Amino acid sequence: MIPVKGYEGAQVAVLGLGRSGLATARALRAGGAEPVCWDDNPAAREAAEADGFTCRDLHKGGAFDGVAALITSPGIAHLYPKPNPVIRAAMEAGVPVDNDIGLFFRSFADAEWQMHDQPPRVVAVTGSNGKSTTVALLHHILQEAGRESQLAGNIGRGVLDIDPPGNGGVVVLELSSYQTELARALTPDVAVFTNLSPDHLDRHGGMGGYFAAKRRLFAEGGPDRAVIGIDEDEGLFLAGQLSEAAGDDRVIRISAARKLTGPGWQVFARKGFLSEYRKERQAASIDLRGMTGLPGAHNHQNACAAYAAARTLGLAPRLIGDAMATFPGLPHRSQTIAESGGVRYVNDSKATNVDSAVKALSAFKNIRWICGGLEKDGGLEGLQGQTGNVVKAYVIGREAAGFALQLDVEAEVCTTMAAAVERAIEDAQEGDTVLLAPAAASFDQYDNFEQRGEDFTAEVNKRLG
């Protein structure tokens, strides 16, 4: 646990008592604060009270009298599409609003670090797609190198629930736009921006607000090193803002779309090979083509990001490459779950938006594509012209018929996962890939994308025996 500093003896309100909320309350208590908790869910309040916390209805007038700060869970809206009533009440009372990420960065450093030969480091990764794979891959590389590493944030443990790091320890954080937008402190040693595509636009008031939330990770804290994906204009702009000159190697530019040149520090992937260039000379090359845990150009971009971050931490290229070769991949992210009769079955349920689905579709050939679900803002126009590898689509979801009409490939309306898997298996021929890459949210039929991926896996396994 990382005890929260700066609130000794003060009342601090905690809104939302899920995984991160309870961890926050415990860390506040460990730091000497008096947490006052609330969640609209009675079961969540009961769990907090069983842990010894006081619950107070923060909707009531005067609830913020004597309160030093409000710490809110990331899923609770604080501005768009409209502020949660409790957060609005805190702001009207002049009470600062923060989240667990902000508390982590203000509390992470410890006096005992003076005894370390190498101080602990924090690597924080944000972006639209690839964050989870990037942080998991970096964590895997560090462990294979014998370095102490902890995975936290939007994956793994809550940031305040991790163990105090030891000598040279590394904390690898996945941070969503919800987390970076509100945190009052953001001071990673290394910050990584993977890419940007439309997502969560209602929560951020549009694309500009979404990018601004991501940009805060770099603008607020001034990391020692920044790894920036420049395959979109926003990343190119961000890299330019952070650089003092073309040769400024505090900024490492990465790409999975083209060769990068220039006097600076670049890492890029082309035709399945990762290359590192420094001062216009090649420093390393890694063959990614046979790495089953990193299929497709989108995963090659993730590999570039993790490689660049690992290099900033002093790891050698050969060690990084050897570790990448043993990376198993993450569940629900281009995860091969079965192979039978020359047909490969791939679970990419995490492809919840059009951009991530397009990247999945480019990673395989002869695709029997299971797609559909709750459409996100922006519709499906981005799929047009991107389905050249698709033999046929099998559409699920409550609005499957409407979804299917927007596709530029042959599509069969299946509605349920069971029907889609059954029809895809019946049609599949040797050399095909049955791919779940929904290009939509899961909430019309499932609680989350993990449950959707597990349903796909179960249906495949049931039919393959």
pLDDT of residue 221: 78
**What phi and psi, each to the nearest 5 degrees, are found at residue 305?**
-65, -45
134 is in an annotated binding site: no
Residue 455, Cβ density class (10 Å: 0-12 exposed, 13-18 middle, ≥19 buried): buried
pLDDT of residue 225: 97
Contact 162, 199 (CB under 8 A): no
290 is in an annotated binding site: no
Contact 226, 251 (CB under 8 A): yes
> Could you say which architecture CATH assigns to the domain 335-464?
Alpha-Beta Complex (3.90)
One-letter amino acid at 363 equals A
128 is in an annotated binding site: yes
132 is in an annotated binding site: yes
Contact 197, 355 (CB under 8 A): yes
285 is in an annotated binding site: no
- Residue 400: closest CA among 391, 411, 409: 411
Contact 256, 297 (CB under 8 A): yes
Fold category of 11-98 in CATH: Rossmann fold (3.40.50)
**Can you name the residues that pair with 191 across neighbouring β-strands?**
124, 226
Contact 53, 37 (CB under 8 A): yes
Please list, in sequence order, all residues whose beta carbon lies within 8 angstroms of the beta carbon of residue 409, skipping any fewer than 6 positions away: 369, 387, 390, 392, 393
pLDDT of residue 447: 94
- Residue 382: closest CA among 414, 357, 410: 357
Contact 261, 329 (CB under 8 A): no
- 8-state DSSP, 383: G
Contact 434, 344 (CB under 8 A): yes
Contact 407, 380 (CB under 8 A): yes
132, 134, 139, 174, 301 from 124: Cα distances, Å: 11, 10, 12, 6, 16
- Residue 218: closest CA among 252, 261, 255: 252
How far apart, in whole angstroms, are the C-alpha atoms of residue 177 and residue 198? 12
pLDDT of residue 198: 81
Q: Which two tokens stand for residue 365?
A: 């050939």
Q: What end-to-end distance do the CA atoms of the chain give, in Å?
A: 44
pTM, to two decimals: 0.85
- The full set of domain ranges for the chain reads 11-98, 108-325, 335-464
pLDDT of residue 177: 95
pLDDT of residue 452: 97
Fold category of 108-325 in CATH: UDP-N-acetylmuramoyl-L-alanine:D-glutamate ligase (3.40.1190)
- Residue 338: closest CA among 441, 433, 417, 205: 433
**Can you name the residues that pair with 228 across neighbouring β-strands?**
193, 253
127 is in an annotated binding site: yes
Strand 390-396 versus strand 170-174 pairing type? unpaired
pLDDT of residue 266: 98
Q: What is the mean pLDDT of each run of 10 residues along the chain (465 residues)?
A: 96 94 96 97 95 96 96 94 96 97 93 82 95 96 97 92 94 96 96 91 92 95 94 96 94 96 95 95 94 88 97 97 93 90 95 91 95 89 94 97 96 98 98 97 95 97 92
**What phi and psi, each to the nearest 5 degrees, are found at residue 311?**
-65, -35
- 8-state DSSP, 441: B
**Can you name the residues that pair with 412 across neighbouring β-strands?**
394
H-type helices in 93-161, by residue range?
100-107, 131-144
**How does DSSP assign 289-332, residue by residue?**
TT-TTS-HHHHHHHHHHHHHHHHHTT--HHHHHHHHHT----TT
- Sequence-ordered strand ranges (E) for 53-207: 54-55, 67-72, 97-98, 121-126, 149-153, 170-174, 190-193
pLDDT of residue 222: 85
Q: At what angle do helices 207-219 and 233-242 cross, to 10 degrees?
A: 30
pLDDT of residue 389: 97
- Residue 105: closest CA among 236, 220, 230: 220
133 is in an annotated binding site: yes
- Residue 270: closest CA among 250, 249, 254: 254
pLDDT of residue 95: 98
